[in-house]
Amino acid sequence: MTTIQVTTAAKSYAVTIEAGLLARVGTALAQVWTPCQVAVITDTNVGPLYAQQVRDRLIAAGFRVTVLTVPAGESSKSWPQVMRLIDALSAAHLTRSDGVLALGGGVVGDLAGFVAAIYLRGIAFAQVPTSLLAQVDSSVGGKTAIDLPTGKNLVGSFYQPDVVLIDPHTLTTLPPRMLVEGYGEIVKCAALVGGDFWALVQQVTQPAAILAQAAPLIHQSIAFKARVVMADEKEGGQRQLLNFGHTLGHAVELWGHGRYMHGEAVAIGLVQVARLFAAQGMMPAALADQLRDRLTAVGLPVALPADLTVTALLAAMQHDKKIHGQALTWVYLTAIGQPAMHAVPLTDLATWIAPVTGPLQP
Ligand SMILES: NC(=O)c1ccc[n+]([C@@H]2O[C@H](COP(=O)([O-])OP(=O)(O)OC[C@H]3O[C@@H](n4cnc5c(N)ncnc54)[C@H](O)[C@@H]3O)[C@@H](O)[C@H]2O)c1
């Protein structure tokens, strides 16, 4: 078992990582919450696998439990689901002394966190993340959100959980593509941190190694995210480093309309941004190859899709939230573990990305 303490202006909370933790989720939660009513929010994939066990353990520890299930998938990060859940909390008479527990991936965490943030102006919130992406990233940091038809994560709040309980065993039921996708974010963090973390990802030479090394990989990722969040809770400066690979990656993801999962698009973004900065003489070319090797070892894509056009890529990049004052800020590395930032005026963007978009149609 390892524990990382996250301390923000709003709250200090523990993130516990332990194989088999679900079997003692009740006693673990009882260390931070006094017995109360808990609404376990889960989805139609995770619920059938783990909700009964979580419910039984919570009841054994003295909690009263209501399980609420939303359809699996991004479309549940919506106003209709928020309203349905809030109505259910109210119907179950949850009070300010009660709590919401998110049991699932990043979708459930973002949705349940938002519901906890606004119901009765905010009730207690706990995270039990079950996807790799949620275990290494979305469960820590306090960002909650739902989507609008006009874009992802457009409504939400910063709302930190009281505790994050991570059981890497839950990853054994995660579909392989989702496991690998979550690993894309881990490689990003390891490259930003360097040292032992980068040495650890060298050991992942095939997809099965992600599961074998899950606990230390999660620990290193969370420790890094916690440091960044503690330094910069609301994304003013340091937190921007987490956008490494996301400028191109997010544009590819948007353009693909579901063809690429987020971590797959980030993998493409990481290697392409490294090639871009290498071409500008700002990053050693060998770094792009190192990143490529780590990502392709588990089967992640790294090439820009051949049917992507430069026009479509530039159009997708116009939606980037990192555009400030008519310039787009890119994160790059001067060495493994040495991140830096560079702002490019929007008017220069087409020329700036030309070294990697050369083979694409205009
Ligand atoms: N809040 C943040 O800081 C933050 C950061 C990154 C991403 N996100 C959000 O996270 C979401 C993506 O998260 P995700 O990739 O976990 O997606 P997800 O929640 O949709 O989970 C992926 C799929 O795996 C299933 N699943 C999850 N755990 C499982 C398990 N143990 N066994 C079997 N199936 C399981 C889910 O039902 C779903 O079908 C996006 O909405 C994104 O915006 C939030």
Ligand 1 centre distance from Cα of residue 156 (Å): 17
CATH class of 176-357: mainly alpha
Check whether 142 has a pLDDT greater than 90.
yes
Other beta carbons less than 10 A from residue 83's beta carbon: 11
b/e sequence 4-18, b meaning 16+ C-beta within 10 Å? bebebeeeebbbbbb
**Confidence (pLDDT) at 234:** 57
DSSP three-state, residue 316: helix
Task: Quickly state the pLDDT bin for 151 (edges 50, 70, 90).
Answer: confident
Distance 138 CA to ligand 1 centre (A): 8
Residue type, 4: I
3-state secondary structure of 106: helix
Catalytically active residues are 121, 143, 185, 225, 235, 239, 243, 246, 250, 262
- Residue list, annotated binding site for Zn(2+): 185, 246, 262
> Measured between alpha carbons, how far is residue 129 from residues 160, 161, 188, 320 in Å?
14, 12, 20, 27
Mean local confidence (pLDDT), 2-11: 92
Percent of the chain with pLDDT over 70: 98
| Ligand 1 neighbours (beta carbon < 6 A) | 43, 45-46, 49, 72-74, 77, 104-108, 110, 130-131, 133-134, 137-138, 141, 143, 152-153, 170, 173-174, 178
For 2-173, CATH number?
3.40.50.1970
- Tens of pLDDT, residues 283-293: 999 999 999 99
Domain segments of the chain as ranges = 2-173, 176-357
Predicted model pTM:
0.94
Please give the distance, rounded to the nearest whole angstrom, from the Cα atom of residue 47 to the centre of ligand 1: 13
